[in-house]
Structure 1
């Protein structure tokens, strides 16, 4: 991977009923990284810590080569765009145009033509008060505002929340175009499998405040497979199979097996004399279920 756009070291945040970390994570510049996990797993907490909106109890976060909370952070924050999971209620009484006029002076790279182009593509009436916008329109407006200064790093917390299918496809296209230059970075939290498939280069799984791992998406989807195997009654020692994640009888001498190391597992099956009847790649949500169960100590 290339240099890190986001570097997280030994990060811990403790709350009365939840603890995040310790987190070690290096998110590469120039790629889209999706943070995936169940609700309440700590995804939004990570975003707040990245932006300095909350303080960790231990560890450090660096964005674009600068440590968060270390002196004046104005300069590097002008290179960041952020869309939070929930809209800010305090802004409900101002219009989109009024908020843009307030925000614009903070960003030297503000591009009014690009901002207007995004409003047009998303079919947003920025003259409306923010509180009068539907959830989907507000989401599209917030994304347009976050991208208007061509940020080097775009942080998106559940970006498609409230979007209809047409707006969702527009968002996917806008983000693909944003990444065409090759030197920009997106970090997004999402539970939409198709969104992660279409956008992400890397996937970070977070469960119960713990990072379970960071994976290159295509390699991950290639390596996690369900296999139906016939061992012809040989009493094969399945526990020795590479990457074994799940195992159950499927009738007769056939077994249903889940592995996270498909290529190594196939070689092992051939050496063991077992017959691979069929195989199928797992979906991301199924992989997350297996990782979650493993984190709980369950096969």
Structure 2
């Protein structure tokens, strides 16, 4: 990985019925990292900790080289754009224009022309009160606001929530263009498989408050496969296969075997005298299901 945009060490946040962590995670600069996990896994809590909106019980967070603590965080936050999962209800009576006018005073690099261009592309009427906007329009407004100062780092918690298919494609295009600068970083939480496939360079899995690891996306999808194997009637100790995650009888002497290390598994099967009939890459949600079972 390259230089870290986010570095988290030993992070723990305790609540009455949930504990996040301990989490260790390094997110590289210049890449898109998707944090993927079931609802209630702690994704939004992790974003709040990264933004200094909540305090951990242990551990540390560094954002763009700055430690997140009780010091004045204005300088580092001015380099970040953040879109939380839930809009802030207290802002419902404000117009979009009023919020934009207030927000721009905090960002020296605010670009009104770029902000207007984003509103135009997203077809957002910023003259409306925020509480009168549909969920999708509010999402598009918040994203436009978060990007208007050309942040080095974008934190996006379920960015496509409420977007229709056309708006979703527009968002994907805007985020791709944002990354063309080469030194920018996106960290996003998403449950949309196609969104992760199109945008992410790295994927970090979180389940029940535990970080299961961060993986290069293409390598991950190449490694996790279902192999359809003809065992030729001979007994095979499937659980000793490299990357073994499970198997089912597929009919006759054929088996469907899941591995997280397809290349090594194929070599192992060849040594066992078993023939791989076909193979299929797993989808992200299928990988996550297997990872959940190992927690």
TM-score grouping bracket, smaller chain normalisation: over 0.9
2:212 is matched with which residue?
212
Secondary structure, counterpart of 2:263 in structure 1: helix
Secondary structure, counterpart of 2:211 in structure 1: strand
Instruction: Name the CA distance, whole Å, in 2 between partners of 1:40 and 1:148.
Output: 30
Secondary structure, counterpart of 2:33 in structure 1: strand
1:88 is matched with which residue?
88
Secondary structure, counterpart of 1:127 in structure 2: coil
1:175 is matched with which residue?
175
Instruction: Name the CA distance, whole Å, in 2 between partners of 1:34 and 1:181.
Output: 19
Instruction: Name the CA distance, whole Å, in 1 between partners of 2:250 and 2:131.
Output: 55
**Which aligned segments of 4 or more residues in structure 1 are displaced greater than 4 angstroms?**
none
What TM-score, normalized to structure 1?
A: 0.98
2:291 is matched with which residue?
291
What aligned pairs does 1:1-299 form with structure 2 within 5 A after superposition? 1-295=1-295
Instruction: Name the CA distance, whole Å, in 2 between partners of 1:171 and 1:122.
Output: 8
Deviations 1:228-283 (A, max 9, x none): 10111111121211000011211221111000000011111111110101100000
- Deviation of 1:121 after TM superposition, in Å, equals 0.1
Secondary structure, counterpart of 2:105 in structure 1: helix
Instruction: Name the CA distance, whole Å, in 1 between partners of 2:236 and 2:89.
Output: 60
Instruction: Name the CA distance, whole Å, in 2 between partners of 1:281 and 1:124.
Output: 39
- For the aligned residues, what is the CA RMSD? 0.6
- Deviation of 1:70 after TM superposition, in Å, equals 4.8
Instruction: Name the CA distance, whole Å, in 1 between partners of 2:112 and 2:285.
Output: 39
- Deviation of 1:164 after TM superposition, in Å, equals 0.2
Runs of 5+ unmatched residues, structure 1: none
Secondary structure, counterpart of 2:235 in structure 1: coil
Instruction: Name the CA distance, whole Å, in 2 between partners of 1:45 and 1:30.
Output: 24
What is the total number of aligned residue pairs between the two structures?
A: 295
Instruction: Name the CA distance, whole Å, in 1 between partners of 2:50 and 2:193.
Output: 24
What TM-score, normalized to structure 2?
A: 0.99
Instruction: Name the CA distance, whole Å, in 1 between partners of 2:158 and 2:252.
Output: 45
